[in-house]
Structure 1
Amino acid sequence: MNRLYFGDNLKWLSDRKEFPDASVDLVYLDPPFNSNADYNVLFREPTGQVSQAQFHAFTDTWSWADAADTYHQFIDNCPNVAVVELMEALHSFLKHSPMMAYLAMMAPRLVELHRVLKPSGSIYLHCDPTADHYLRMLLDGVFGARYFRNDIVWKRRVGSFSTVHTSRKFGDCYDDLLFYTKSETSVFNSQYSKEAKGYQEYLESRFNMTDENGRRYQLDNLGNPAPRPNLMYEYKGYKPPANGWAISREKMEQWDKEGRLYFPKDKTKRIRRKRFLDEVKGKPVQTIWDDIAEINSQAQERLGYPTQKPVALLERIISASSNPGDVVLDPFCGCGTTIHAAQKLDRQWIGIDITYLAINLIKRRLKDAFGEEIEFEEKGQPTDFAGAKQLAENDKFQFQHWALSLIGARPLKEGEGKGADRGVDGLLYYYETERKDIPGRVMEEPLPRSEPVHREKIIVQVKGGGVNRSDVATLLGDVENQKAAGGVLITLEKPSKQMRTEAADAGRYTSKLWHDKDYPRVQILTVEGFLDGTERIDAPPQINPFAMAAREAGAREKQTEML
């Protein structure tokens, strides 16, 4: 079931073969908030440090000119009359504003998400105060106000000085999670937190007694809050409370055998229950979530993707509203936090994103976290030469991102990559050494930081049109100017025999860390060759010998095969 879709989520969701009715258990979506901001991806260097390299990810800006057709098609075709009337009323109030354009984008998607949810399903819409009041109205129309469950406040900034202050308003420090279900039979599993503010202090003050086995406990009332004549019984000489006991005689005897009862020496007093500290699940989670902080600049899980959410946040949502094996859908999957959490919690998952930059990031993230052997189906990406050519014609930047992903390279900069770097579109890094006595193999244990290992780069250029001899010369010049170990030219069109000859004449370089193996200094790889499996990059492994990639628990470790 695990599937990753590249393309417009509305087009995919409207495809009933791909997304049948009642086929999804849980939807989480974190759509753009209409904040009128541009978002860039910040990349990490192989050392783990944040790089200065940025790439434009998306623009959170909406215009009526772009949304008008979508709005009118929705009004004409939506079967939900209540939603149509609501949208017309909002249009009357908001006119042709950016907010109305945003709602016109969201409405048809929410209707499709309602369709694909199972009767037992739930939806969590992540938003901020910019548009939450309008989205709440829209969700009331689509799902029904009776199926509203909670407006959860995620206090993403924690601490005394963690809000963003301005001179004319209070600081913003929270997002909203609008939680709706499709019916009364929805799945819900109560959640508990051991990180809640003041929780540890509470445990220290309340669980202040110890039994003969060294287990800490607190005493709790065993009286019934309401009169229960059938629970009025004497137990071991202790008379019942005025309303009777809270449990039956059989349960009382069971707890007595298990050592869960406290008997005061004075039999005029009441038996009390022992609540053991080691059995406490945590503080019940309610609608203010202040125990999960947003991802800061130093967080290990930070990928540099704009609006990235912490895995712990999605783990709580998925754990609360689904069970193992259920299907989780994120139609705006971005950097893949929902997918990561779903995989970790043994759920099936579906992710959709309109940029291949995000798709590539998710694929790399999953392999880093769960191993190269993780399996999932990809939809919407080119699978043959005709599809690749069509992508290049329709969107050259998405084609570039897709082509870079074929060899695991990261995009270097915004736009076409022209300028000082003379056309470098992406980079690969590997580690190298000058020492002869460092073993040339994949290390089972990380190398100590004292080892004289440094990183080298391989520059990548992507060509979606025609190529000629000058492209090889340009690539070789960039390799020399940037002091790179090598260069790769990925091309849609087939190179000439002379181009391949000139690439071969550029020579080879040797990796001393990786078996003293020689690699071509300049390589020409075709998209068609990648797709039919006849070509692949010939380069040292992109493995950090100082710190092997952290894997999620349960992910099978796999040695990289050395050639």
Structure 2
Amino acid sequence: MPEKGKLLEGDCLELVPRLVRRATERFDLVYVDPPFNTGLAHRARGKQGARIRGEHAYADAWGGLDAFLGMLEPRLAVLRDVLAETGSLWLHLDHRTVHDAKVLADRVLGRGAFKGEIVWVPGNGARGRRGPSVTHQTILVYAPGREMLWNHQDPWLREPFASVSQKMHFKNQDASGRRYRDRTIAGKTYRYYADVGRQLGSVWSDCPAMRANTPLNPETTGYPTQKPERLLERIVRATTREGSRVLDPMCGSGTTLAVAARLGRRWVGVDRSPVALAIARARLGV
């Protein structure tokens, strides 16, 4: 990996406050992927997909929603206090807890700090016969500072225009042959190029889940709830610059850290699970 960082074993509630002693040590991105309150114990898997005997990767049983939220609240407060002025916190949850956690996060981080939510469609999930299938997860985005760093021109935050739109609107060509359209808004004319695409929306369906590809995907580590690098790369590119500081306080297999290292960001990962940290260390070479 081109950039070294820190991997710490323990509870982020205790460890994270020690990481920031001056303003320059604050984090530009905090990505939080807590347990989802599934009531299950998760084991790691080998490269061929078989469960590994022995210690669980982590237990996701809290004794009810109130206990889960009670775990989350003080940790969000700690993470809020280590954000840089233009930093953002991304809280990744699913249908089991996201609605209650949103109310909690509004209280801890500030209702005005809420910037929006990403609906991630990983491409897997059970299809139910008795009601709507839940085939997405939600990432809540908060930025308590006055202005959130957002690299809106990054190619990872763009998507192609709809084919119908390209046929109907992009009929002009410039001297180099690029197709474009001009739009006048409030008396000012803007030029849009077909090959640049449009700003990405809030539903991300182009980042397939790891489980759908395991064990064939070379990216897999066998960690039970590993997120795809493509998802994290979009988040890191959107909210940081080269040299920025990235924190994953429940880092699991280290996907956030691997992406941050590859993109030249400084990173810190924390996890309570020895299984998770062993996988992350092997992945990161630290």
TM-score category, normalised to shorter length: 0.7 to 0.9
Q: 1:290 aligns with which of 194, 199, 205?
A: 205
Q: 1:107 aligns with which of 59, 63, 73?
A: 73
Alpha-carbon contact 1:192-1:285 (below 8 Å) kept: no
Counterpart in the other structure of 2:136: 174
Query: What SS does structure 2 have at the residue aligned with 1:364?
Result: helix
Counterpart in the other structure of 1:242: none
Report matched runs for 1:84-95 at 5 Å. none
Shift of 1:299: 2.3
- Whose Rg is larger? 1
Report matched runs for 1:471-486 at 5 Å. none
Counterpart in the other structure of 2:265: 347
Q: 1:26 aligns with which of 8, 11, 29?
A: 29
The structure showing larger relative contact order (alpha-carbon pairs under 8 Å, at least 6 residues apart) is: 2
Shift of 1:203: 4.5
Query: Which residue identity does 1:309 align to in structure 2?
Result: K
Paired residues in the alignment total: 276
Structure-2 separation of matches of 1:156 and 1:61: 23
Structure 1 portions without partners, runs of 5+: 64-97, 227-245, 248-272, 368-375, 377-563
Matched, 1:332 2:250: yes
Counterpart in the other structure of 2:228: 310
Query: Which residue identity does 1:20 align to in structure 2?
Result: R
Identity of aligned residues (%): 32
Shift of 1:315: 1.1
Counterpart in the other structure of 1:57: 57
Structure-1 separation of matches of 2:269 and 2:131: 37
Alpha-carbon contact 2:174-2:180 (below 8 Å) kept: no
Q: Evaluate the alpha carbon distance shift between residue 118 and residue 168 of structure 1 in structure 2; reply closer, same or farther with a 3 A threshold.
A: same
**Cα deviations by residue, 1:133-180 (Å, 9 ceiling, x for unpaired):** 1211111111110111102211122xxxx5522232211111110100
TM-score under structure 2 length normalisation = 0.86
Q: Evaluate the alpha carbon distance shift between residue 322 and residue 57 of structure 1 in structure 2; reply closer, same or farther with a 3 A threshold.
A: same
Query: What SS does structure 1 have at the residue aligned with 2:282?
Result: helix
Counterpart in the other structure of 2:90: 124
Query: What SS does structure 2 have at the residue aligned with 1:43?
Result: coil
Matched, 1:138 2:110: no
Query: What SS does structure 1 have at the residue aligned with 2:44?
Result: strand
Query: Which residue identity does 1:136 align to in structure 2?
Result: K
TM-score under structure 1 length normalisation = 0.46
Counterpart in the other structure of 1:152: 118
**Cα deviations by residue, 1:260-298 (Å, 9 ceiling, x for unpaired):** xxxxxxxxxxxxx875445x1x33112211222212223
Query: Which residue identity does 1:168 align to in structure 2?
Result: R
Alpha-carbon contact 1:294-1:310 (below 8 Å) kept: yes
Query: Which residue identity does 1:288 align to in structure 2?
Result: V
Alpha-carbon contact 2:11-2:271 (below 8 Å) kept: yes
Q: Evaluate the alpha carbon distance shift between residue 188 and residue 194 of structure 1 in structure 2; reply closer, same or farther with a 3 A threshold.
A: closer
**Cα deviations by residue, 1:84-113 (Å, 9 ceiling, x for unpaired):** xxxxxxxxxxxxxx2111111111111111
Query: Which residue identity does 1:36 align to in structure 2?
Result: G
Structure-2 separation of matches of 1:108 and 1:289: 29
Counterpart in the other structure of 2:11: 8
Alpha-carbon contact 1:21-1:116 (below 8 Å) kept: no
Q: Evaluate the alpha carbon distance shift between residue 127 and residue 324 of structure 1 in structure 2; reply closer, same or farther with a 3 A threshold.
A: same
Alpha-carbon contact 2:156-2:237 (below 8 Å) kept: no
Structure-2 separation of matches of 1:163 and 1:359: 27
Alpha-carbon contact 2:248-2:270 (below 8 Å) kept: yes
Query: Which residue identity does 1:5 align to in structure 2?
Result: L
Structure-1 separation of matches of 2:15 and 2:171: 57
